[in-house]
């Protein structure tokens, strides 16, 4: 029996620019990702990784081709419909965290619940859920801090809590460890592994081979096409030993001393 795909694309194309200069950011991408997979997306700068993630994450639409998310043909939807699907089904983690700067960690995590159209939750329940999500990333004691009072690793954990708070079917990361030092990046990977162990589907862009190796499957893009799509073989069990060796509370505490990292700008086109 084949498992149900969470992501299925057919001949996905994204063309930027009009007139003479056109960029084929995606040039016919067919990809199928099943429920519960942990997938790394690699490839040189400009190969289309962010473009693919933005389409998979319902932040953008393809120029051509079809995309089915959890069986639904989302490539056919308009922007407002996409926003609803995104809010309900997808948690997105960016390289530059993308937190609201003057807003507490708690409020940042509550945002997806505030924007939710149907099932309007009372505020107390939103707070409860957001606090639970912060607790899950080890940051309950920082709930009332604003991003500038948090280290880069802590800000990214707030962003992960925000990505989790709606209980999405799919968690996407566009270089979620890209702005972090190796040790803090490893702590973020521990969190992502925990999510995967609990059955989530994760797809993340990374430049680092050692991070890609911790996932189950690596997709390599080049010039908007899939150049390689490999299962990472025996690495599938790696999360177990990784969890055990790296999950020390001191690591979190030490990351406070990293110095304060202000969250970057809106876009995530840095690479
Ligand atoms: P990666 O994330 O792999 O570095 P991107 O998906 O950001 O690559 O970009 C793929 C290609 O599309 C690049 O040539 C980039 O310059 C181009 N591109 C990306 N976004 C835009 C945009 N909004 N307008 C025009 N060109 C873009
Ligand atoms: Mg990119």
Specify the pairing of strand 5-16 against strand 64-69. antiparallel
Inter-residue long-range contacts of 228-233, CB under 8 Å, 24+ positions, other chains counted: 229/31
- Name the average pLDDT for the chain: 86
Q: How many helices (H) and strands (E) does the chain have?
A: 9, 11
Residue tagged 């604003």 (tokens): 146
In a domain, 170, yes or no: yes
The model's pLDDT over 151-187, given as tens digits with 9 standing for 90+, comes to 999 999 999 999 999 989 999 999 999 999 999 999 9
What span, in angstroms and rounded, lies between the C-alpha atoms of 71 and 51?
21
Q: Decide if 35 is inside a domain.
A: yes
Q: What percent of the chain has pLDDT over 70?
A: 84
Predicted pLDDT of residue 240: 36
CATH number at residue 252: 3.40.50.300
**Is residue 246, in this structure, part of any structural domain at all?**
yes
Assigned domain for 240 exists = yes
Tokens of 221: 């893009």
State mean pLDDT over 217-221: 98
Strands, E assignment, the chain: 5-16, 23-29, 32-34, 38-42, 64-69, 72-73, 90-94, 170-174, 201-205, 217-222, 225-231
User: Is residue 7 a contact partner of residue 55, using CB atoms and an 8 Å limit?
Assistant: no
> What's the gap between Cα 210 and its chain centre?
18
- The ligand 1 site (C-beta within 6 Å) comprises 16-17, 23, 25, 43, 45-51, 269, 271
Q: How far is the CA of 228 from the centre of ligand 1 (A)?
A: 20
* Structure confidence at residue 85 (pLDDT): 93
Q: Is residue 190 part of a domain?
A: yes
Q: What is the mean pLDDT of residues 57-75?
A: 96
pLDDT of res. 115: 75
For residue 216, the enclosing domain spans 5-258
For residue 201, being part of any structural domain is answered with: yes
- Kindly indicate the confidence band of residue 114, based on its pLDDT and cuts at 50, 70 and 90: confident
Give the Å distance between the CA of 25 and the centre of ligand 1: 6
Residue 268 has pLDDT above 60, yes or no: no
Number of separate domains in the chain: 1
Look at residue 157 in the predicted model and tell me its pLDDT.
96
Q: Is the pLDDT of residue 19 over 50?
A: yes
44-48, 91-95, 96-100, 114-118, range with the lowest pLDDT: 114-118
Domain assignment present for residue 268? The answer is no
Indicate whether 271 belongs to any domain.
Answer: no
């Amino acid at each position: 029996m084949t498992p149900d795909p969470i992501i299925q694309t057919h001949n996905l194309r994204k063309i930027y620019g009009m007139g003479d200069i056109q960029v084929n950011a995606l040039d016919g991408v067919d990809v199928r990702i099943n429920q519960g997979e942990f997938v790394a997306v690699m490839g040189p700068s400009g190969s289309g990784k962010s473009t693919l993630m933005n389409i998979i994450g319902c932040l953008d639409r393809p120029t051509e081709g079809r995309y089915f998310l959890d069986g639904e043909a989302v490539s056919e939807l308009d922007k407002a419909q996409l926003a609803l699907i995104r809010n309900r089904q997808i948690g997105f983690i960016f390289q530059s965290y993308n937190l609201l700067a003057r807003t507490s960690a708690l409020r940042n995590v509550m945002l997806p619940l505030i924007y939710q159209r149907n099932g309007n939750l009372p505020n107390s329940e939103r707070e409860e859920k957001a606090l639970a999500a912060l607790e899950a990333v080890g940051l309950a004691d920082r709930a009332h801090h604003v991003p500038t009072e948090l280290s880069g690793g802590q800000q990214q954990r707030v962003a992960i809590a925000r990505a989790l708070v709606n209980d999405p079917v799919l968690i996407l990361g566009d270089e979620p460890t890209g702005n972090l030092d190796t040790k803090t990046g490893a702590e973020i990977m521990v969190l992502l592994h925990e999510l995967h162990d609990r059955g989530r589907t994760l797809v993340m862009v990374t430049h680092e081979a050692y991070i890609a190796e911790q996932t189950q499957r690596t997709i390599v893009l080049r010039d908007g096409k899939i150049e390689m799509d490999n299962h990472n073989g025996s690495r599938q069990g790696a999360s177990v030993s990784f969890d055990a060796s790296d999950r020390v509370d001191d690591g979190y505490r030490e990351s406070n001393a990293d110095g304060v990292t202000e969250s970057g700008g809106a876009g995530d086109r840095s690479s």
